[in-house]
């Protein structure tokens, strides 16, 4: 029992450490500097998706929908609403200081742009996404629902279906990237990121064996392979943030 507890604790330590590393690169990537942001995003965004897949469990679709909505979408709407309020107040204060009056039409237009931006999770000529980094919450919500739907409907060759679907989704994301097509509701990001979510889920048992055996060489091999993959992404299909429509914020 003690060994099991220590193993579980080491897993928690590993996940927490990986999250800290990812957060560090997120902050660093958004600081001004000479290193392109897509170089960082090619690492930390897949990392966060893989960690989410790693801790994923098979649950009923209704339970996943309920839990994921409160864990992801409630913060999504809350953070975007707060950001929209601050942006609207800044807009009002600016116009008061500049002209001494408030243009109600422009203010109403701003509110409409914020609402549409929150719904479609994007900034366009007719919308504004108040809290850009929150796209991750929306995309992760979609991945959790998709994973739960597959896990509850597919009884045979579940992992095979997951892998095939994730590969098809990456191919679709790549085609959309080449054609310059951006679909609202973070569909592009979900198409590209689901493969990392699935990878994290499939690596759960494999990594557990590595930690139990304390095999540092296997861990090194995984690290080298992942690094080689990210180099491939960086030099072959980079666009804006290193991966097709896998935004950094």
pLDDT at 249 over 60: no
Count how many Cα atoms sit within 13 Å of the Cα of residue 16 in the half-sphere of its side chain: 6
Say if 107 falls within a structural domain. Answer: no
Say if 163 falls within a structural domain. Answer: yes
Each residue's pLDDT tens digit, 48-105:
888 899 889 889 999 999 999 999 999 999 999 999 999 999 999 988 888 888 889 9
Give me the DSSP letters along 104-170. Answer: HHHHHHHHHHHHHHHHHTS-BTTB--SSGGGHHHHHHHHHHHHHHHHHHH--SSHHHHHHHHHHHHH
Say if 18 falls within a structural domain. Answer: yes
pLDDT at 44 over 50: yes
Q: How many domains does the chain have?
A: 1
Say if 81 falls within a structural domain. Answer: no
Predicted confidence at residue 3, as pLDDT, reads 42
* Percentage of the chain modeled with pLDDT above 90: 41
Each residue's pLDDT tens digit, 164-183:
999 899 889 888 888 888 89
- Name the range with the highest mean pLDDT among 9-18, 78-87, 187-196, 199-208: 78-87
What is the spatial distance between Cα 29 and Cα 8, in angstroms, rounded to a whole number? Answer: 32
- Domain limits at 181? 2-58+133-236
- Model confidence at 233, pLDDT cuts 50, 70, 90, reads low
More confident residue, 159 or 116: 116
Instruction: Return the structure tokens found at 104.
Output: 């109600």
- pTM here is 0.79
Residue with tokens 């509701």, as numbered in its chain: 185
Say if 109 falls within a structural domain. Answer: no
Predicted confidence at residue 185, as pLDDT, reads 96
Say if 173 falls within a structural domain. Answer: yes
Q: What average pLDDT does the segment 103-111 reach?
A: 93
Say if 182 falls within a structural domain. Answer: yes
Say if 112 falls within a structural domain. Answer: no
Lowest mean pLDDT, pick from 24-38, 59-73, 108-122, 186-200: 24-38
Looking at every residue in the chain, the average pLDDT score rounds to: 79
Residue 215 CB neighbour total at 10 angstroms: 12
Predicted confidence at residue 243, as pLDDT, reads 46
């Amino acid at each position: 029992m003690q060994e099991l507890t220590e193993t579980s604790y080491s897993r928690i330590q590993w996940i927490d450490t990986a999250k800290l590393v990812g957060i560090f690169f997120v902050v660093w990537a958004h600081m001004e500097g000479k290193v392109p942001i897509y170089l960082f995003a090619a690492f930390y965004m897949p990392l966060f998706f893989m960690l989410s897949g790693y801790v994923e469990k098979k649950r009923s679709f209704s339970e996943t929908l309920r839990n994921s909505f409160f864990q992801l979408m409630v913060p999504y709407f809350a953070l975007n609403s707060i950001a929209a309020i601050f942006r609207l107040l800044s807009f009002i204060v600016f116009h008061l200081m500049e002209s001494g009056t408030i243009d109600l039409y422009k203010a109403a237009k701003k509110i409409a742009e914020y609402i549409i931006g929150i719904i479609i999770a994007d900034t366009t000529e007719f919308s504004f996404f108040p809290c850009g980094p929150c796209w991750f919450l929306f995309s992760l919500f979609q991945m959790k629902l998709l994973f739960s739907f597959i896990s509850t409907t597919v009884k045979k060759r579940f992992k095979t279906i997951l892998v095939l679907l994730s590969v098809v989704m990456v191919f679709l994301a790549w085609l959309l990237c080449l054609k310059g097509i951006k679909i609202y509701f973070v569909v592009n990001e979900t198409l590209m990121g689901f493969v990392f979510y699935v990878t994290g889920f499939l690596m759960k048992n494999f990594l557990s064996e590595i930690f139990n055996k304390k095999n540092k060489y296997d861990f090194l091999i995984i690290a080298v392979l992942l690094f080689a993959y990210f180099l491939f992404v960086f030099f072959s299909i980079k666009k804006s943030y290193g991966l097709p429509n896998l935004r950094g914020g």
